[in-house]
Structure 1
Amino acid sequence: MATRAQETLTGVMEQQGEMTPEDRFIEEQIEWLKAHRADTGASFTEIASWTGIAHGTVSNLLGVKGYAGNRKKYADMIAAYRQTLASQSELVADLPEKPGYFETPTSAAITRYLQWAQRGRLVLIVTGAGLGKTETAQKFRRDNHNSFMATMTASTSGIMPMQQRVLRSLGEKQAVGSPAHLSEMICDKVRDLRHAVIMIDEAQHLSIKALEEIRSWHDETGVGIALMGNERVQQSIYGVSRAADFAQIFSRIGLNLTRPRAVDGDAEALAAAWGITDEKMIAAVREMASKPGALRGATFALEVAHLMAVTQGTAVTLQHLKKAWAQNSRTGQ
Structure 2
Amino acid sequence: MCRGCATKTWLVLVDEAELLPYRALEVLRRIHDRSGAAIVLAGMPRLLLNLKGSRGEYAQLYSRVGMALDLASRRKESEAEDFSAILGSLLSNNEVSDNPLALKIASVFRKHSRGNYRRLFKLARGVARTSAIGNQGMSVTLIDRYAEMLIH
TM-score by length of 2: 0.69
Per-residue CA shift, 1:288-326, capped at 9, x if unaligned? 4443xx223112112222333334542110111122122
Alignment partner of 1:257: what SS?
A: coil
Aligned counterpart for 1:229 among listed residues 43, 56, 61? 43
Per-residue CA shift, 1:149-178, capped at 9, x if unaligned? xxxxxxxxxxxxxxxxxxxxxxxxxxxxxx
Alignment partner of 2:70: what SS?
A: strand
- Asked whether the 8 Å contact 2:113–2:123 carries over to 1, the reply is no
> 1:215: how far off?
1.5
Where does the alignment leave 5 or more consecutive residues of structure 2 unmatched? none
- Asked whether the 8 Å contact 1:195–1:223 carries over to 2, the reply is yes
- Asked whether the 8 Å contact 2:13–2:42 carries over to 1, the reply is yes
Aligned counterpart for 1:265 among listed residues 81, 91, 99? 81
Within 5 A, what are the aligned runs for 1:1-333?
145=1, 193-237=7-51, 240=53, 243-260=55-72, 263-273=79-89, 274=91, 275=93, 276=95, 277=97, 278-291=102-115, 294-311=116-133, 313-328=135-150, 330=151, 332=152
- In 2 relative to 1, CA 284–219 (structure 1 residues): closer, same or farther, beyond 3 Å? same
Distance in 2 (CA, whole Å) between partners of 1:254 and 1:279 is 40
Distance in 1 (CA, whole Å) between partners of 2:146 and 2:49 is 35
CA RMSD of aligned residues (A): 3.0
> 1:220: how far off?
4.2
Amino acid at match of 1:248: Q
Where does the alignment leave 5 or more consecutive residues of structure 1 unmatched? 1-144, 147-191
> 1:268: how far off?
0.9
| Match of residue 139 from structure 1 | none
> 1:249: how far off?
2.3
Alignment partner of 1:209: what SS?
A: helix
> 1:248: how far off?
2.6
Distance in 1 (CA, whole Å) between partners of 2:114 and 2:70 is 16
Amino acid at match of 1:204: E
Q: Which of 1 and 2 has greater Rg? A: 1
Percent identity (aligned): 20
Per-residue CA shift, 1:207-231, capped at 9, x if unaligned? 0232123223323443322223344
Question: How many residue pairs end up in the alignment?
Answer: 137
Question: Highest relative contact order (Cα 8 Å, sep 6+), 1 or 2?
Answer: 1
Per-residue CA shift, 1:88-115, capped at 9, x if unaligned? xxxxxxxxxxxxxxxxxxxxxxxxxxxx
- In 2 relative to 1, CA 194–308 (structure 1 residues): closer, same or farther, beyond 3 Å? closer
